Structure 1
Amino acid sequence: MGSTLQETKSAITLRGSAEIISEFLDYGVNSILFQRGIYSSETFNAEQKYGLTILKSADDKVKDFLQNVLEQTKEWIASRKIQKISMIICNADTKEVLECWDFKLQVEKNDIPEGETEVVGHKDVKVIQNEIRDVIRQITGCVTFLPMLDCPCSFDLQVYTDSNCDVPEGWEESAPKIIDNCQELKMRSFSTSVHTVDTAVCYKLNM
């Protein structure tokens, strides 16, 4: 009985993997917003997650925007129609792109039947959360390496999907954002046993 329970606990479905990744993106994007000073620190509340204290925006507009994008993103991840999510930080006045945080997704198993939603991977959830914790720590720590953002900034999310995806009403198609004279900093990956997520930030030098 104990063995059966343990196996069930560590079973990861395609949708379960999408849920884990969507939650990571929520905490990751919020952490970047706080660490990079995109909004006033007074508009963030502390939450405990992955064994860390993570600051999340309490601004209703930010919360609604992230919920809208990440709910749709979760569906696309579960249907294997997404390759990358990018968080773009721009100069609010000139619209110049200053940073691009890339979260690249790879499906670890390419033989999953179309429409499959049952168990497709096995990994202890605590191990996955520990790996995510290490990524969040790196996001927090890398602020010391990045140039200061000494101008008012805005952010947006770009979702790179398959060409046959239906774009929801209110969404706009846009070209990839390019940073001239940029440097890339790669971080740790984490795996759900269904997807691997690689995180990296490209930033503009000599701002």
Structure 2
Amino acid sequence: MSETQQKSKCITLKGSAELVSEYLHYGINSILYQRGIYPPETFEPADHFGLSILVSTDEKIKSFLQTVLGQIREWLVEKKVQKLTLVITNVNTREVLEKWDFKVDYEGPTANGTHPDNKTSSLPLEIGTKDTKTIQKEIREVIRQITGTVSFLPLLDCLCSFDILTYTVPDCNIPTEWDETQPVFIANSQEVQLRTFSTSIHKMETVVSYKND
């Protein structure tokens, strides 16, 4: 197979950003279901990454995630997002009970989308070294781990809500309807790191922290 043919099977920067945002979409939905944030009857199965994943049917949640992850996808292409955090809070006390950190690292070319040997180009044209099928297999294993966390995470026996915090580079243009906020911390927390997956352009680490009474 020629080098051109080989590269055509590998992921592009845009394709990598799309896969990462899809992982976030299905991973967050899985967390909302597994942690009982919303009633189970408000979820329905969807086949993705070779798995049947439960996703919310609530229009407000769907619209919220579409807006947030649509912006995240743009920032992933521009290499401007550093981390996304899903925060689960006790509705009555406002205490943070659990948080899921999705940390992004950028591999290969430099952070602004140029190659070290082509500093004059600002076009994010890089091609990764992995094919989509291989990446999807890695993502599938992480989502399976998310599903399995219910076996050790403490029961959330109160009414809870969720929010999403996004951490970006300083020169990022933030949408006017988004609010700036402070990082959240959990007192006396326990932390568990799940599997890492890589597209060869974006590397994603998933860590769950929870209140350890």
Residue 106 of structure 2: aligned partner:
107
TM-score (norm: length of structure 2): 0.92
- Alignment coverage as a number of residue pairs: 205
Residue 118 of structure 2: aligned partner:
none
Residue 212 of structure 2: aligned partner:
205
Residue 175 of structure 1: aligned partner:
182
Residues 27-106 of structure 1: pairs in structure 2 closer than 5 A: 27-106=26-105
Contact conserved, 2:87 with 2:100, CA < 8 A, in 1? Answer: yes
Residue 25 of structure 1: aligned partner:
24
**Same amino acid, percent of matched pairs:** 52
Alpha-carbon distance between aligned partners in 2 of 1:23 and 1:127, rounded to the nearest angstrom: 15
TM-score (norm: length of structure 1): 0.95
Deviations 1:106-163 (A, max 9, x none): 0012434163322331211111000000000000001110000000000000000011
Q: CA RMSD in A?
A: 1.5
Letter in 1 for 2:93: T
Contact conserved, 2:98 with 2:210, CA < 8 A, in 1? Answer: yes
Contact conserved, 1:79 with 1:115, CA < 8 A, in 2? Answer: no
CA shift for structure 1 position 40: 0.4
CA shift for structure 1 position 93: 1.3
CA shift for structure 1 position 170: 1.1
Secondary structure at the residue paired with 2:37?
A: coil
Alpha-carbon distance between aligned partners in 2 of 1:158 and 1:171, rounded to the nearest angstrom: 10
Alpha-carbon distance between aligned partners in 2 of 1:145 and 1:174, rounded to the nearest angstrom: 30
Secondary structure at the residue paired with 1:170?
A: coil
Residue 166 of structure 2: aligned partner:
159
Alpha-carbon distance between aligned partners in 2 of 1:68 and 1:100, rounded to the nearest angstrom: 20
Alpha-carbon distance between aligned partners in 2 of 1:5 and 1:47, rounded to the nearest angstrom: 32
CA shift for structure 1 position 94: 1.2
CA shift for structure 1 position 14: 1.7
Alpha-carbon distance between aligned partners in 2 of 1:203 and 1:74, rounded to the nearest angstrom: 27
Deviations 1:153-197 (A, max 9, x none): 000000000111111021000000110000001000000010110
CA shift for structure 1 position 205: 1.0
Alpha-carbon distance between aligned partners in 2 of 1:5 and 1:151, rounded to the nearest angstrom: 54
CA shift for structure 1 position 4: 4.9
Residue 190 of structure 1: aligned partner:
197
Segments of structure 2 that go 5 or more residues without pairing to the other structure are 115-120
Secondary structure at the residue paired with 2:46?
A: strand
Residue 125 of structure 1: aligned partner:
132
Secondary structure at the residue paired with 1:149?
A: coil
Segments of structure 1 that go 5 or more residues without pairing to the other structure are none
Alpha-carbon distance between aligned partners in 2 of 1:181 and 1:3, rounded to the nearest angstrom: 53
Alpha-carbon distance between aligned partners in 1 of 2:75 and 2:180, rounded to the nearest angstrom: 16
Alpha-carbon distance between aligned partners in 1 of 2:5 and 2:38, rounded to the nearest angstrom: 44
Deviations 1:57-102 (A, max 9, x none): 0000000000000000111111111110000000011110000100
Alpha-carbon distance between aligned partners in 1 of 2:205 and 2:62, rounded to the nearest angstrom: 24
Alpha-carbon distance between aligned partners in 2 of 1:115 and 1:158, rounded to the nearest angstrom: 28
Contact conserved, 1:30 with 1:55, CA < 8 A, in 2? Answer: yes
